[in-house]
Amino acid sequence: MSMVLQIVVCGSIVPDPLQTLEPVTTPAGPGLKNEMMLPAVLDPWASHALYEAANLAKQNPGSKVWLVSLGPKAKLQQVMMTVAQKVPFELIAVDGPAGGFTEASQTAAALAEAIQAIPGLDKSRLLVFGGWESASRGAGVTMQMVGELLGIQDQFQGVDEIKLQPDGSFEVMERVEGGRHQISSCAGAPALLGWATGNLPEPKNNPQVGMLNMRTVGPALQKAKPFKPAATDVTFVSVSLPKQVRETRIIKDKTADEIARELVEWIKQ
């Protein structure tokens, strides 16, 4: 027996990871050099969550997937041209900064507000998906805060698999330390799942799915609610790329033990 689910995926856009990113300090605070010129993609962590949500909805006829995305409208429109061809979903756009220098609490509040405004939302059928981490907002707490604001107590992080049972309950496979997985059981919705890499490959482009999705993407972008982070007491003193240190020496007459000992001493410094 299938269950009709309402699956909301939280996912923002990030600069293409193949680009060189250079942090700079702008009048508005830290940012990336030529950020608006950089090509963008859907956050890789959120992508896994979206594909898993679409697969779960496909297995349970009548279920629906929403993608709640916070980012600049112009960039969202560019990215959705590609993402919309992957899986069926309805976009809910929030027009705001997509960088990693926004307080997680403010981002979570904007996402939770957008989710609560979904017409006909039924929390007894609600599953909130998102990335366990993020390529831009890597605080690791945004999804947890979204769940708390929505009153969802059952939360799972580092998820690789979900198995829905006929009675509406489900099992979740979460990553734990030591390269192992923990199997948890949940009585049912509502629940929040922060996805790791999942088990599904990236779906192939489907122009028909893209045309159906684009019918709602345009209107969603037009009525996107603006989000401007409020000023807080948090300040960034500086932003910079990690420094690369390379000290090469060619030595032929040392034993493996001596080399290991020297490496340990160098690391301690």
Residue type (1 letter), 207: P
Q: Cα–Cα distance between 93 and 110 in angstroms, integer?
A: 11
From CA 89, how far away is CA 140, in angstroms rounded? 25
Distance from C-alpha of 257 to C-alpha of 22, rounded to nearest angstrom: 40
The pLDDT of residue 148 is 93
CA distances from 181 to 46, 154, 171, 176 (A): 20, 18, 12, 5
pTM over 0.95: no
Please provide residue 249's backbone torsions phi and psi, each rounded to the nearest 5 degrees.
Answer: -135, 140
* pLDDT of 104: 79
Average pLDDT of each block of 10 consecutive residues along the chain (269 residues)?
A: 84 77 68 72 88 92 92 86 89 82 82 92 91 72 90 91 88 86 89 87 88 88 82 62 70 84 85
Q: Token pair of 103, please?
A: 């307080």
State the fold for domain 6-226: Rossmann fold (3.40.50)
Rounded Cα gap, residues 116 and 216, in angstroms: 19
Q: Would you state the pLDDT for residue 73? A: 86
pLDDT attached to residue 232: 60
